Every structure is written in structure tokens, then in C-alpha cells.
């Protein structure tokens, strides 16, 4: 059984940003404050079961994964991880800038880059490598939960090496807004989300920070415990 607490290193927009409010309202949860949010009437009109189709995404808060949720290895503590986050952010690097769009990815809907951004792929790979010493090894149960028989050979190798299959070449930046939807339902929901997103007039998005999320126990939602701007 996965141990707790769990920590994850994500990208999340600043708490007062239009993008953060956009995601928090649609998920019904603000990971910055821990507050419940009312769903937009527009979303409930398109999908009366909006609470259900956003259930899984709401647990994690509006984010993009850089280092997947992990239980800390023996001898590692939260204070040490926070120090490591500050050190990572303090290393100068190119700041990835994407053109964000709302689209379907593997059946769910998310904010994704319009194209591949090498600096973003590098940032994600650096997070995977640099924080891996904090991760406890997967248990057999954790590995089975990832359904390795459904993964490609490379994804299985990454699962065993890094504890998560969608890293390095398999990484796809996405800020999830819904669970998986069949094609018939996806169209109206996608149109509504695109309309709401376009109202933000967010032509570019700098992936300019790392954010530490914490989940206290299996029933808890992830909550932000620290964020650090990346040095340019």
C-alpha cells in the first residue's frame, strides 16, 4: 500500500493569476488555499454531472506534473525536500514558454502546449532526475496499479527506473481539467472549455516555477506547501 504523506513537484500558476482561477473554478478546488469552489453555471449546463467528471482531477488540484507523487524515502524529510526545491529553482536555466491551448489528450481534456518546447522537456527531465533520491521505491502493489502490461517497453523501463512511466521522451505537459470522456461527450465539453479559456486571452504561458504539493492521507486532496520561481 502506498505510504503517506505523498509529495509531488508540479507546475501551477500563481494563486492570483487568471489561469489559476480558471482551473480552480472548473475543478471546484483551489490547491493554493484549500478552499472549495463553486462550479461555473456554463459547465453544469453542458454537463450536469460535472462534479463526477472532474472528481479525479480535483483530488490533485490544477497542475502539470513534473515529478509524480511519491512517498519519501527512508531518511528523507519534508524540510530537506523544501531545501532541495529551493536549490533546484536557484539554478539558472532557460524558462520554457508555451502557447497554451485546450485540447483532448488520451481521452481527457487539458491545457497543453500547442507544440513541443525543448526547454520544457528538459525542465521535466531535470525534475525527474534531481528529485529521484527523495522517492521511495515502488512496491509490487504500486507497480501493478500502473498496469504495466498496458505500457510500452520503454514506459515499463521508466516505471521501474523512475517510478512513473510518462517521463523523459514519454513526458507530455498537461494541466488536466476532466476525466476521460467518450467521443460523444467530449465534443460539447471541449467547446465550452475552449470558449472559457479563450476569454483569458492567454497567448503565452511561462513555465517559470516549481510548486510542491502534499497529500496527507489517502482521503485528502493535494495542497500546495511551497513554490519557487525559477532563476533565469
pLDDT at 1: 43
**Taking a C-beta distance cutoff of 8 angstroms, is the pair 208, 229 a contact?**
yes
Q: Tens of pLDDT along 197-222?
A: 999 999 999 999 999 999 999 999 99
The owner of cell 520544457 is 120
* DSSP state for residue 217 in the 8-state scheme: S
Residue 48 has pLDDT above 70, yes or no: yes
Q: Is the peptide bond before 93 cis (omega within 30 degrees of 0)?
A: no
Residues 84-119: tens digit of each pLDDT: 999 999 999 999 999 999 999 999 999 999 999 999
- Read off the pTM: 0.95
The mean pLDDT of 122-148, rounded to a whole number, is 95
For domain 6-229, the CATH superfamily is Cyclic phosphodiesterase (3.90.1140.10)
Neighbours of 207 (CB within 10 A): 22
Domain boundaries defined on the chain = 6-229
pLDDT at 3: 87
Residue 10, phi then psi, degrees to nearest 5: -125, 170
Amino acid at each position: 500500500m502506498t505510504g503517506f504523506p505523498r509529495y509531488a513537484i508540479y507546475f501551477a500558476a500563481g494563486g492570483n493569476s487568471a489561469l489559476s482561477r480558471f482551473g480552480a473554478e472548473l475543478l471546484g478546488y483551489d490547491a493554493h488555499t484549500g478552499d472549495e469552489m463553486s462550479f461555473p453555471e456554463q459547465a453544469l449546463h453542458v454537463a450536469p454531472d460535472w462534479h463526477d467528471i472532474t472528481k479525479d482531477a480535483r483530488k490533485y488540484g490544477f497542475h502539470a506534473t513534473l515529478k509524480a507523487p511519491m512517498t519519501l524515502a527512508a531518511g528523507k524529510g519534508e524540510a530537506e525536500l523544501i531545501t532541495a526545491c529551493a536549490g533546484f529553482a536557484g539554478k539558472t536555466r532557460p524558462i520554457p514558454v508555451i502557447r497554451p491551448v485546450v485540447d483532448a489528450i488520451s481521452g481527457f481534456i487539458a491545457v497543453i502546449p500547442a507544440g513541443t518546447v525543448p526547454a520544457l522537456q528538459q525542465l521535466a527531465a531535470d525534475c525527474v532526475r534531481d528529485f529521484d533520491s527523495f522517492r521511495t521505491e515502488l512496491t509490487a502493489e504500486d507497480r501493478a496499479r500502473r498496469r504495466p502490461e498496458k505500457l510500452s517497453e520503454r514506459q515499463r523501463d521508466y516505471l521501474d527506473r523512475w517510478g512513473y512511466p510518462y517521463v523523459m521522451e514519454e513526458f507530455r505537459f498537461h494541466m488536466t481539467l476532466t476525466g476521460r470522456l467518450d467521443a460523444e461527450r467530449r465534443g460539447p465539453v471541449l467547446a465550452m472549455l475552449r470558449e472559457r479559456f479563450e476569454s483569458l486571452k492567454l497567448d503565452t504561458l511561462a513555465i517559470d516555477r516549481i510548486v510542491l504539493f502534499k497529500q496527507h492521507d489517502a482521503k485528502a486532496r493535494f495542497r500546495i506547501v511551497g513554490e519557487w520561481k525559477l532563476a533565469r
